[in-house]
Amino acid sequence: MFGGTVFDTTFARAARHAGVLPVGGKIAKVSVDEVNAIHEAAGDAFRLWDGSSRRITASLSAGAAGIVATPLSPFVDNFPIKTISAIQLAVDPVQRALDALATRAERTDALMHAAISAA
Protein backbone atom coordinates (compact mmCIF):
# COMPACT_ATOMS: atom_id res chain seq x y z
CA MET A 1 0.00 0.00 0.00
CA PHE A 2 2.82 2.42 0.81
CA GLY A 3 5.29 1.09 -1.75
CA GLY A 4 7.20 -1.15 0.61
CA THR A 5 7.94 -4.83 0.60
CA VAL A 6 4.94 -7.13 0.95
CA PHE A 7 5.10 -9.45 3.94
CA ASP A 8 4.09 -12.72 2.32
CA THR A 9 5.03 -16.37 2.85
CA THR A 10 8.31 -16.02 0.95
CA PHE A 11 9.36 -12.97 2.96
CA ALA A 12 8.22 -14.55 6.25
CA ARG A 13 10.12 -17.77 5.57
CA ALA A 14 13.30 -15.90 4.53
CA ALA A 15 13.18 -13.60 7.57
CA ARG A 16 12.62 -16.56 9.88
CA HIS A 17 15.54 -18.52 8.44
CA ALA A 18 17.80 -15.44 8.56
CA GLY A 19 16.88 -14.86 12.21
CA VAL A 20 15.47 -11.38 11.53
CA LEU A 21 11.75 -12.09 11.78
CA PRO A 22 10.03 -9.45 13.92
CA VAL A 23 8.01 -10.48 16.95
CA GLY A 24 4.79 -9.80 15.08
CA GLY A 25 2.89 -7.64 12.68
CA LYS A 26 -0.45 -6.75 11.16
CA ILE A 27 -1.35 -8.03 7.72
CA ALA A 28 -4.18 -6.80 5.54
CA LYS A 29 -5.91 -7.50 2.24
CA VAL A 30 -5.26 -11.25 2.49
CA SER A 31 -7.46 -14.33 2.44
CA VAL A 32 -7.85 -16.80 5.29
CA ASP A 33 -5.68 -19.22 3.30
CA GLU A 34 -2.96 -16.56 3.15
CA VAL A 35 -3.26 -15.98 6.90
CA ASN A 36 -2.66 -19.68 7.38
CA ALA A 37 0.25 -19.80 4.92
CA ILE A 38 2.00 -16.77 6.45
CA HIS A 39 1.48 -18.18 9.95
CA GLU A 40 3.02 -21.49 8.90
CA ALA A 41 5.95 -19.76 7.17
CA ALA A 42 6.64 -17.42 10.09
CA GLY A 43 6.07 -19.95 12.87
CA ASP A 44 4.31 -19.73 16.20
CA ALA A 45 6.72 -17.15 17.64
CA PHE A 46 5.42 -14.54 15.16
CA ARG A 47 2.27 -12.80 16.45
CA LEU A 48 0.22 -12.30 13.29
CA TRP A 49 -2.61 -9.76 13.56
CA ASP A 50 -5.22 -9.87 10.80
CA GLY A 51 -6.45 -6.49 9.60
CA SER A 52 -9.88 -7.85 8.67
CA SER A 53 -12.67 -8.14 11.20
CA ARG A 54 -15.04 -9.68 8.65
CA ARG A 55 -14.19 -13.27 9.63
CA ILE A 56 -12.80 -13.33 13.15
CA THR A 57 -13.26 -17.04 13.89
CA ALA A 58 -11.79 -18.13 10.55
CA SER A 59 -8.76 -15.85 10.96
CA LEU A 60 -8.04 -17.08 14.47
CA SER A 61 -8.45 -20.68 13.32
CA ALA A 62 -5.99 -19.99 10.48
CA GLY A 63 -3.31 -18.86 12.92
CA ALA A 64 -3.92 -15.18 13.59
CA ALA A 65 -3.02 -14.19 17.14
CA GLY A 66 -5.63 -11.46 17.04
CA ILE A 67 -7.78 -9.22 14.91
CA VAL A 68 -7.64 -5.49 14.29
CA ALA A 69 -11.34 -4.61 14.43
CA THR A 70 -11.41 -1.14 12.89
CA PRO A 71 -15.21 -0.85 13.23
CA LEU A 72 -14.86 -0.97 17.02
CA SER A 73 -12.33 1.87 17.13
CA PRO A 74 -14.82 4.51 18.39
CA PHE A 75 -15.42 2.37 21.53
CA VAL A 76 -19.09 3.02 22.07
CA ASP A 77 -20.67 2.69 25.53
CA ASN A 78 -22.20 -0.70 24.78
CA PHE A 79 -18.92 -2.39 23.89
CA PRO A 80 -19.63 -6.10 23.31
CA ILE A 81 -18.72 -8.76 25.83
CA LYS A 82 -15.44 -10.48 25.08
CA THR A 83 -16.67 -13.41 23.04
CA ILE A 84 -15.90 -13.89 19.37
CA SER A 85 -19.56 -14.20 18.40
CA ALA A 86 -20.60 -11.04 20.31
CA ILE A 87 -17.75 -9.02 18.84
CA GLN A 88 -18.48 -10.31 15.33
CA LEU A 89 -22.15 -9.32 15.72
CA ALA A 90 -21.11 -5.83 16.82
CA VAL A 91 -18.54 -5.43 14.05
CA ASP A 92 -20.61 -6.66 11.10
CA PRO A 93 -23.14 -3.81 10.72
CA VAL A 94 -20.45 -1.15 11.18
CA GLN A 95 -18.20 -2.91 8.67
CA ARG A 96 -21.08 -3.14 6.17
CA ALA A 97 -21.65 0.61 6.53
CA LEU A 98 -17.94 1.31 6.02
CA ASP A 99 -17.81 -1.03 3.02
CA ALA A 100 -20.68 0.89 1.43
CA LEU A 101 -18.58 4.08 1.37
CA ALA A 102 -16.74 4.68 -1.89
CA THR A 103 -13.31 5.80 -0.69
CA ARG A 104 -10.81 5.30 2.08
CA ALA A 105 -11.17 9.01 2.92
CA GLU A 106 -14.92 8.58 3.40
CA ARG A 107 -14.37 5.58 5.66
CA THR A 108 -11.79 7.50 7.69
CA ASP A 109 -14.17 10.45 8.03
CA ALA A 110 -16.98 8.15 9.16
CA LEU A 111 -14.76 6.55 11.82
CA MET A 112 -13.53 9.94 13.01
CA HIS A 113 -17.10 11.24 13.26
CA ALA A 114 -18.12 8.15 15.25
CA ALA A 115 -15.13 8.56 17.57
CA ILE A 116 -15.87 12.24 18.15
CA SER A 117 -19.55 11.48 18.77
CA ALA A 118 -18.61 8.80 21.31
CA ALA A 119 -16.23 11.09 23.18
- pLDDT-based confidence at residue 5 (cuts at 50, 70, 90): confident
- CA–CA gap between residue 111 and residue 69 (Å, rounded): 12
pTM over 0.85, yes/no: no
Which pLDDT score is estimated for 1? Answer: 54
| Mean pLDDT of the 47-73 span | 91
Is 39 or 82 the better-scoring residue by pLDDT? Answer: 39
Distance of CA 43 to the CA centre of its chain: 18
| Mean pLDDT of the 17-36 span | 94
For the chain, the domains span 1-68, 70-119
- CA–CA gap between residue 100 and residue 60 (Å, rounded): 26
**pLDDT tens per residue, range 78-92:** 777 889 998 898 889
What dihedral do alpha carbons 81, 95, 71, 80 form, nearest 10°?
Answer: -10
| Mean pLDDT of the 40-45 span | 95
